[in-house]
């Protein structure tokens, strides 16, 4: 009996497998972007307590505390988490994507942090609920829209140069 025939004869098994594959795919996306909220390290191994944010749709960025969950007000404008990268070790840093949290997720994150949860736990919750977009685009994409989400967060460099994530603690 082949796999296709087994799945046709057992639709519940087919649905269960499909749900499992979707859950694994979402977990992989969350794992891939999870490092941005869990404290990245610089060359000396010191975890940063800051992230980069942008209040001008990615034209520029600034460092602020990881305990601020986007969007928050900065100089009278909404500030969003900025995914800052560069191509190669000497490339010019740029904002590859922006991130924000729906109000309910942001409130949960703030409550978790206020309640004394560890930064790692809060970081995992944050990664799972973050919406993203490319600078200049209007539509925010949720982790549930896996292909579009991955297209935004999977940053690549031309000419096969290595992509380097830039953090406030990077040299």
pLDDT tens-place string over residues 144-161: 898 999 999 998 888 788
Q: Is residue 145 part of a domain?
A: yes
Inform me whether the pLDDT recorded for 34 exceeds 50. Answer: no
Q: How far is CA 30 from the centre of its chain?
A: 7
Of the CA atoms within 13 Å of residue 115, those in its CB half-sphere come to: 9
Domain containing 67 equals: 3-165
What is the pLDDT at residue 29? 46
Q: Is residue 7 part of a domain?
A: yes
Domain count, the chain: 1
89-117 exposure pattern, b = at least 16 Cβ within 10 A, e = fewer: eeeebbbbbbbbbeeebbebbeebbeeee
Q: Is residue 121 part of a domain?
A: yes
Q: Is residue 74 part of a domain?
A: yes
User: What pairing do the DSSP bridges indicate for beta strands 94-100 and 62-65?
Assistant: unpaired
- In angstroms, the CA 168 to CA 63 distance is 6
Q: What is the CA angle 152-123-94, rounded to 5?
A: 35
Q: Is residue 103 part of a domain?
A: yes
Inform me whether the pLDDT recorded for 33 exceeds 80. Answer: no
Tell me the pLDDT band of 30, cut-offs 50, 70 and 90.
very low
What is the pLDDT at residue 85? 94
Q: Is residue 171 part of a domain?
A: no
What mean pLDDT comes out for the span 45-72?
Answer: 86
Q: Is residue 113 part of a domain?
A: yes
Q: Is residue 170 part of a domain?
A: no
């Amino acid at each position: 009996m082949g796999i296709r025939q087994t799945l046709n004869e057992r639709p519940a098994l087919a649905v269960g497998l499909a749900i499992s594959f979707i859950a694994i795919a979402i977990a992989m996306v969350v794992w891939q972007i999870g490092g941005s909220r869990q404290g990245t390290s610089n060359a000396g191994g010191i975890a940063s307590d800051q992230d980069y944010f942008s209040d001008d749709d990615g034209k520029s960025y600034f460092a602020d505390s990881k305990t601020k969950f986007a969007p928050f007000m900065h100089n009278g404008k909404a500030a969003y988490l900025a995914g800052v990268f560069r191509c190669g070790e000497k490339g010019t840093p740029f904002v590859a994507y922006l991130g924000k949290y729906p109000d309910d997720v942001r409130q949960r994150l703030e409550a978790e942090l206020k309640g004394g949860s560890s930064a790692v736990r809060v970081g995992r919750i944050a990664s799972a609920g973050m919406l993203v977009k490319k600078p200049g685009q209007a539509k925010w994409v949720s982790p549930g829209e896996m292909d579009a989400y991955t297209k935004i967060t999977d940053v690549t460099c031309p000419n096969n140069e290595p992509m380097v994530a830039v953090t406030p603690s990077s040299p």
